[in-house]
Amino acid sequence: MLLLAHAPPFPAAAPILAVGLMGSGMIGAAADGRFLIGILLALVVGAGLLLLAKGLGLPPLQDPLLIGLAVAAACISFAARGALFARSAAGKGWLIAVLVVAGEAGILATASARPDALPEWLLALLPAQWASMAIQSALTDTGTHAANWALLALAGTAAATLLVARLWPRRWPYLVMFTAWLGLSALVYLGP
C-alpha cells in the first residue's frame, strides 16, 4: 500500500527520486550549514533525475502540479533536517546526514525490491517514504488523496524541524519535533 499501490512503468522512479532529494537536500544543508543551499541542491538534483527518467522513457507526468508540490515539500523537509544536523552537530552534521540518508535509502530499497518484507508501520515512519508516496501518486495518477497525508507530513516535519533548529541549543523543542513526527507518521499510516 505505502510504496507501490499501482505498478508504474518505472516502479523504482519514485523511491530513487525521493532518496536523491533526501541525499542532496539533507547532506547539502548539513555540510554547508545553510537551509537554502539544501533546498537549491535538492531542486537541482530533483530536476536532473526527472529529466534523466524522461530521457529513459518515463511517460508524461500525469499530474505535474502534484509532482511539483511533492518535490518542493520533500526539498524543504529534507533541507530542514540537514540544517538542524549542521547546528546540533557542529562540523559533523554532514556525517549524521549521510548516515540517516543511507539508513532510509536501505529501507526504501528493501521495500522496493521486496514489497512485503517490511511492515507498513515501519515505512510510515520514514520521511523518504512519504516523499516516495507523494511522487508515486503524481507519476501514476492515483489521485491526490494518497499524497495529501504524505505532503502534510513532509510540511509538518519541516516546520517542527525548523523550529528546533531556530531554538537550538534549547532541548525542549525536540519534544515538539518528535511528537509531530510520530503524529504525522500515524496519519500517513492510517490515511488512505
88 pLDDT more than 60: yes
Q: Which tens digits make up the pLDDT trace of 139-177? A: 877 656 768 899 999 999 999 999 999 998 888 888 999
CB 74 within 8 A of CB 29: no
Buried residues in 97-114 as b, exposed as e (16+ CB within 10 A): bbebbeebbebbeebbee
What is the band of 90 on the pLDDT scale with cuts at 50, 70, 90?
confident
Q: What is the pLDDT of residue 7?
A: 46
Q: What is the pLDDT of residue 60?
A: 81
Torsion sign (Cα): 111, 116, 120, 122: negative
Cβ-Cβ contacts under 8 Å for 124 (sequence gap 6 or more): 2, 185, 186, 188, 189
8 domain residue, yes or no: no
Nearest to 84 by CA among 152, 174, 150: 174
Q: State the average pLDDT over residues 96-108.
A: 96
Q: DSSP secondary structure string, 18-86?
A: HHHHHIIIIIHHHHH--HHHHHHHHHHHHHHHHHHHHHTTPPPPS-HHHHHHHHHHHHHHHHHHHHHHH
**Total count of domains within the chain:** 1
Least confident of 5-9, 10-14, 116-120, 175-179: 5-9
142 domain residue, yes or no: yes
Q: Which tens digits make up the pLDDT trace of 10-32? A: 678 899 999 999 999 999 999 99
* Residue 79 or 1, more confident: 79
82 domain residue, yes or no: yes
Q: Which tens digits make up the pLDDT trace of 27-73? A: 999 999 999 999 999 999 999 999 998 888 888 877 788 889 999 99
4 domain residue, yes or no: no
Q: For residue 61, what are the domain limits?
A: 13-190
